[in-house]
Amino acid sequence: MSTFSAPKGTYDLLPPDSATVLAVREALAAPLRRAGYGYVETPGFEHVELFSRGVGESTDIVTKEMYTLTTKGGSQLALRPEGTASVLRAALQANLHRAGGLPVKLWYSGSYYRYERPQAGRYRHFSQVGAEALGTEDPALDAELIILAADAYRSLGLGGVRLLLNSLGDRECRPAYRASLQEFLRGLDLDEETRARIEINPLRVLDDKRQDVQRQLVGAPMMRDHLCEACKEYHERVRELLTAAGVAFTDDERLVRGLDYYTRTTFEFVHDGLGAQSAVGGGGRYDGLSEMIGGPPLPSVGWALGVDRIVLALRAEGVELPLPANTQVFAVPLGEEARSELFALVTELRRSGLAADFAYGGRGVKAAMKAANRSGARFAVVAGERDLAEGVVQLKDLESGDQEPVTRDGIAAELVRRLG
């Protein structure tokens, strides 16, 4: 055992669990690729200002949860706590919005970091798959992303995911709502930190999960009563498109999520089998974020889906994903001549697209066959000096136990035929 262990709130991803995580990532990414989203990868750390401006100085993410560091040159950097600001920064830096038609469609997958109290479904290091559509204000684009996420959950076999939907208005109608909400909140019995948040971003108070705060929020003014006609029409069109696509949703007037950059469409996917940490993904429109980080006006929409919580949701529903076999063929040599011959066969099989493994370490036939069974292989190829002298190898079906000789020259083609 090592002297060291993973830092508190983090985890190591190891087989066999890692196979499930890879399958989840692929299921989330597949609908995006079919919809024309290209893959983007950004650094694991960025300048602190990117997140303080974009995510919001009043958010818990920036004020309490960001991991920051000072470089030898004196620059302030932060481990990325979320993906949207980084992806938008990368797109602006590369002038993708000027290179061709809009929207620019991007997807990403990676690890993110927040200093939080570790608990089930909430880690200090977590994995997400995200998607962003940059440069176009269109309710069809909002609906597209929501539908792609819903389809990804469905493809995984999850039946307990619910969609919550809201509109946060825009720069035209939100100021009046902000003033009305501030007036209401100032009359509540709140702690000093929460009262300070009223002046910076009062919508964040609606996101407070504490029961004593939620009880006082009964009767708070709702954004739906302050939406301008353009925002009402926009939101209604999103709802119509989702309904037409067969995506069920629940209107949630208090849904604001934990980031300051959202405008208009805001949504969250939740799973009731996960307890307090029920969100398995979410996102929304962020039409002003580009300007917040020094870019041109670039209306955009996106989401991030939590891989870790999706895995927990699969377990809660008892869903087992069909995973590709780690090993299809296991080679068991008997003697040095057979080791060279079967090692060459394993290489040939791998190049033919089959998953093949080898009895390394010169173990005896009994131990090698145990290893073959543990590997999950469908077939074992066994050969000794006598077999090779006769130009054959023994092909054993590890499910039925049947064994038959196959010519050495024909074994690769036979295995490809049987395993496809």
Binding site members for L-histidine: 82-84, 114, 128, 132, 257, 261-262
Which residues, in sequence order, are CB contacts of 264 under 8 Å at separation 6+?
142, 167, 168, 169, 170, 231, 234, 235, 284, 285, 287
Question: What's the DSSP call for residue 224?
Answer: G
139-155 vs 229-244: helix crossing angle, rounded to 10: 30
**Tokens of residue 399, six digits:** 């499910």
**The dihedral formed by the CA atoms of 169, 171, 175 and 178, expressed in degrees to the nearest 10:** 50
Q: What is the DSSP string of 39-80?
A: E----SEEEHHHHHHHT-TTSHIIIII--EEE-TT--EEEE-
As to burial, measured by CB atoms within 10 angstroms (0-12 exposed, 13-18 middle, 19+ buried), residue 56 is buried
Q: Which two tokens stand for residue 381?
A: 């190829």
> 87: closest CA among 128, 57, 126, 121?
128
| Cα 166 from Cα 170, distance rounded (Å) | 13
Asked whether the bond before 202 is cis by omega within 30 degrees of 0, the reply is no
Q: 303-315: buried (b, 16+ CB within 10 Å) or exposed (e) per residue?
A: bbbbbbbbbbbbe
Residue 298, phi then psi, degrees to nearest 5: -150, 80
Distance CA 319, CA 337 (A): 46
Judge whether 406 and 395 are in contact, CB under 8 Å. yes
3-state secondary structure of 154: helix
Q: Enumerate the known binding-site residues.
A: 82-84, 114, 128, 132, 257, 261-262
Sheet of strand 68-70, all strands in order from the earlier edge strand to the far edge: 45-47, 76-79, 68-70
